[in-house]
A and B are shown apart, each in its own frame.
Chain A
Amino acid sequence: MNRPDRRSFLRIAGSSLGIGVLYSAYPAALTQGEANSMFSALGRETGEKVTPFSFVQLSDAHVGFDGPPDPLGTKAFERAVEMINGLPQRPDLVLFTGDLTHDTEDKDVHIQRMKQFQEISKKINVPLIKCVAGEHDAGLDGGALYREFFGEGYYSFDHRGVHFVGLDNVSRAKPEVGGEQLAWLKKDLARFSKSAPIVVFTHRPLFDLRPDWEWFTSDGDDVMNVLGNYDNVTVLYGHIHRDDEHEIGNVHHFAARSLIFAFPDPNGASGPRKPVPFDKDHPFKNLGIRTVNFHGGSQAASRAVSIEDIELTAREFRNINGIQQMLREPAV
């Protein structure tokens, strides 16, 4: 097989309907032989053959937040850790898309919140955890404290033949990426072919989802113009505290739910955004975890993927009963 320029050679499957999201990278629309040949060719770009794997997206834990929309603090975050550790297939990595902590002007308090985030997240039984900042982590100090704890604000890495790019659209206080980071992105992606599998993870949406709720990135179009040169791009983001899925050109955008409280559906909602009120009888309502599992084989084109949405219930929270499971049709 020649240059891997065929679309959909690899799909990043998954959507965000819960506490977190489990994604699977898998061959699609190809026979096993075609997939192996194409993945080998792609491997020459990243130095590693593309092989099926799964990963989890978590977002918006807001460690340190204590308010009416969720008086339970880190309970949902801790429960998400338990659920990930209980998955039958261990994910390769966890991507955390910002607002790890809630902001405070007291630096010592913010340090304690970042330490608390690290203490909880290190209990996740995965080999690799990668983060980007949210505005509540980095908006007040330009990301200085965040970088002390978690490293650079934007960066990239390769994993099993997939190129991951973490973008920072919060540290400049305004919802923007900025020219310096944009130039870095162009340079970072320059070595890849049009078909390279790319996963971008960031905090705010890179498109105008709801600008009057600050659900946008002002120079998101510039980022998308760069990403638009590639056929297989998935963007994972948080910030909006609800699941969302958009396809713009060749790029698929997925938002994960929060680990603290939910925002309502922006479609048709007028006026300022308001969190979904806390329901003491259903403290984890709207929270849960979606798993996407690739079963492999030559049927990968359509139905070789199973999606399972698991919603936590009040009873489960009280340790009286097990989790309630709802099976949904595959979305891919």
Chain B
Amino acid sequence: MLCLKFVRIFAPSVLCFVGMAAMTGANPAHADNTPVVEITAKRFAFSPNSITLKRDQTVKLRVHSEDVTHGFFLRPLKLDEEIPAGETIEVTVTPHEVGTFMPICDHFCGANHGNMNMTIVVE
């Protein structure tokens, strides 16, 4: 199971990065020292296309769309977000199960939409 806290941010914001990264692709950033992982969505890929998280460790995923509206969906981690064009959403997750997961864009965004995915490894 996963704990989620969702906040929509309507413009990219500058974060203060402090501390050490606890997982691949993560920056300890928020005032509460919760690591932040920045993800960019742009037709038809997420960047980075793979991140690694630690089991039972809370992290904030900040997903920014550089072009059109995208989705960010992952059933096992109960992620089901919509990222409006040019905006950023933030979701807090605490993965409790080890494994390899594949979030997808589930908001149809064009011809290669079906190939828009990334990997989240929880170890």
Contacts and interface: CB of A to CB of B under 8 A. Distances in A.
A102 B114 CA distance: 13
A109 to B, nearest CB: 12
Contacts of A295: none
B99 to A, nearest CB: 11
A104 B110 CA distance: 7
B111 interface: yes
A175 interface: yes
Contacts of B104: 212-214
Given A174-B82, A214-B104, A103 B111 contact: yes
Contacts of A170: 108
Interface string B69-106: 10101110000101000000000000000000110101
Given A174-B71, A211-B73, A273 B114 contact: yes
Contacts of A173: 69, 107-108
A212 B113 CA distance: 13
B75 A212 contact: yes
B115 interface: yes
Interface in A85-143: 102-105, 135, 139-140
Contact of A212 (B80, B102, B107, B108): B102
Contacts of A103: 108, 110-111
A259 to B, nearest CB: 17
Interface residues of B, number: 19
A208 interface: yes
A257 B69 CA distance: 30
Nearest to A138: B108
B110 A105 contact: yes
Interface of A is mostly: loop
A202 B68 CA distance: 26
Interface residues on A, range: 20 to 34
Given A174-B71, A174-B82, A214 B106 contact: yes
A175 B106 contact: yes
B115 A218 contact: no
B117 interface: yes
Interface string A19-44: 00000000000000000000000000
Given A174-B71, A211-B75, A218-B80, A272 B117 contact: yes
A212 B106 contact: no
A271 interface: yes
A216 B104 CA distance: 12
Nearest to B101: A212
A49 B115 CA distance: 47
A165 to B, nearest CB: 23
Nearest to B119: A271
B102 to A, nearest CB: 4
Contacts of A211: 73, 75
A214 B73 CA distance: 9
Given A174-B71, A212-B117, A273-B114, A135 B102 contact: no
Q: Which 9 A-B pairs have the closest CB atoms?
A: A139-B108, A211-B75, A212-B102, A135-B108, A173-B108, A173-B107, A174-B107, A174-B106, A272-B117
15 contacts: A103-B108, A103-B111, A135-B113, A139-B113, A140-B108, A170-B108, A173-B107, A174-B82, A174-B106, A212-B75, A213-B104, A214-B104, A214-B114, A218-B80, A271-B102
Interface of A: 102-105, 135, 139-140, 170, 173-175, 208, 211-214, 216, 218, 271-273
